[in-house]
Amino acid sequence: MGTSDSTPTPPFNNPYKGNIRSPKDLLDDDDAIIIQRNFSYGSLPVRNYKTAHGRDIESDNPPSILTPSQQPQLEDFVIDTSKRLYTAPYWAKWSVVPPNSINPEARYGHFYCNVSDNVDIGSNVNSPLSYVGYGQSDDITYLATDHIWQFDSNLRKWTKLKLTGHTISKRSDSCSVIVGNLIYIFGGKCENKYFADFHTININTNVVTLIQATGHAPHPMAGAFMASYDNKIFIWGGFNGKIVNKSLFIYDTFTKSWHSKVLDIEGRYNAASTYYQNYMYIYGHADSKKDGCKLVMIDLQAQEANYVTTTGKGPISDHMYGRMTKIGQYLFYFGGKAKNAFTMLYALDLERMWWFLVHIRPDNDTVTVNDGRINESGFFLIPRFHSFGCCFSRARREIIAFLGYPVSKIPCLFILGIGTALGVINLRNDMLDVMAYEFENNEDDLEMAIPT
């Protein structure tokens, strides 16, 4: 590969279905899917030789990142060109890597919280630390609650924290949030038993404390959503085996008291959620007959909730156990429990309330196109998983997902590098803002009249 050859090449007999062309044409077209046979370095990189009008550029000597000894021979592989990767202006780079430490036990249904999610902590909004605990490894095995795990997204390193103090019964589907040095944890379930205990874990001392509070506390339930704002803890949604909760429960950390307010929207549970400043966002596990594909937005300051109508192509709204994380003015959503085996990365622009697709490509090192799927539109899909934890590493500019279902004996980190993609997305939004300003200010207010 990489040298011109004027000798006509005989037809190439491909045992796989697809559009068959000569070997030379196949080598010149790296947008095709490469099916490996005898070499193991991974798929060839996707390159695109096109003019501004979308026409193919003839090239007898396309560049290669491989040394001559690494370049495979034609008999080593076949290529299916029936599907091509869509040429996107930006994409997230997908990798699957082991952590640089010992691993937590494989699990799903665990609680997790990110220090950086809480903007009230000031300088800690850039903290790379996340905390994970509890959960189950299969339908009948619930994990011990005498320890939790700390994850450093910059170092990709896990640290086990042994707990002391109040003993917590085994459970899954608890909700949590971290405020200062305290992780607040509520509820959960073990088989058919639901819990209502509200406790904290001090991340400095590793001491568990059961909170004794007054007022109208939430009832036993699992799969609820939690957020913090203005020295208060908010809990909404959740399920007790019979009823989906629609009340917003507010805990005042100063007075150590509860009060509640019934919100005028249908409750949800085990959906994707995140919060920023005084807003909590919930998406997924929706009843399409009642609330369609709408995003739930709860104003924590006003203690009111609304359905938000969005535009664009968003993820399917009835999936459970998806995950969502906020980066800048965008909510990134992926995963979720569904019948299909693959998923994509979506983003919601909170200023325009517009969903758009963030294209993904494998890193061709830890994963290749053969580890995912290319759909009929040429979009690359990653294997679906759910009930995981996720965070954003500001230092590495990547979304990191950890643990979750399906479980693995050696839980690896599922990484989506979005540094370059974020730059292009932000530039696109800047251009839209400039265009909007130009159209809104078309009366030339700054021009002065010429004296006559």
* Residue 73 exposure: Cα atoms within 13 Å on the Cβ side: 2
> By mean pLDDT, which of 40-49, 221-230, 347-356 is the weakest?
40-49
Q: Which residues contact 350 (CB under 8 A, 6 or more apart)?
A: 329, 330, 331
Is residue 395 scored above 50 in pLDDT?
A: yes
Cis bond before residue 406 (omega within 30° of 0): yes
| Structural tokens at position 246 | 């629609």
The beta-carbon contacts of 425-428 under 8 Å, at least 24 apart in sequence, are 425/90, 425/330, 425/347, 425/358, 426/328
| Structural tokens at position 90 | 């930006």
What's this model's pTM, rounded to 2 decimal places?
0.77
DSSP symbols for 130-172: EEEE--BSSSS-BPPSSEEEEEETTTTEEEEEE-EES-----B
Which pLDDT band holds residue 124 (cuts at 50, 70, 90)? low
Average pLDDT over residues 294-314: 93
Question: What is the per-residue pLDDT for 119?
Answer: 56
Average pLDDT over residues 156-180: 96
Task: Collapse the DSSP code of 447 into the 3-class scheme (helix H, G, I; strand E, B; otherwise coil) and give the result.
Answer: coil
**CATH fold for domain 92-105+114-436:** Neuraminidase (2.120.10)
Average pLDDT over residues 190-206: 96
Which pLDDT band holds residue 59 (cuts at 50, 70, 90)? very low
Of 297, 407, 408, 311, which is closest to residue 355 (Cα–Cα)?
A: 311
Question: What is the per-residue pLDDT for 57?
Answer: 32
Is residue 71 scored above 90 in pLDDT?
A: no
**% the chain with pLDDT above 90:** 61
- Domain residue limits, the chain: 1-84, 92-105+114-436
Task: In whole angstroms, give the CA distance from residue 237 to residue 324.
Answer: 16
Average pLDDT over residues 42-69: 36
| Element spanning 24, H or E | helix 23-28
DSSP symbols for 86-137: ---S--EEEEEE--SSPPPPP-BS-EEEEGGG-GGGGGGGG--EEEEE--BS
Question: What is the per-residue pLDDT for 49?
Answer: 31
Is residue 229 scored above 80 in pLDDT?
A: yes
Give the tens place of pLDDT for each residue, 253-287: 999 999 999 999 999 999 999 998 899 999 998 87
- Residue 418 · residue 358 · CB < 8 Å: yes
| Element spanning 342, H or E | strand 342-343
Give the tens place of pLDDT for each residue, 321-340: 999 999 999 999 999 999 88
Residue type, 419: G
Mean pLDDT rounded to a whole number for the chain: 80
Average pLDDT over residues 144-163: 97
Is residue 17 scored above 50 in pLDDT?
A: no
Strand-strand pairing, 360-362 and 323-327: unpaired
Task: In whole angstroms, give the CA distance from residue 251 to residue 227.
Answer: 11
Which pLDDT band holds residue 305 (cuts at 50, 70, 90)? very high
Task: Collapse the DSSP code of 426 into the 3-class scheme (helix H, G, I; strand E, B; otherwise coil) and give the result.
Answer: helix
- Residue 224 · residue 218 · CB < 8 Å: yes
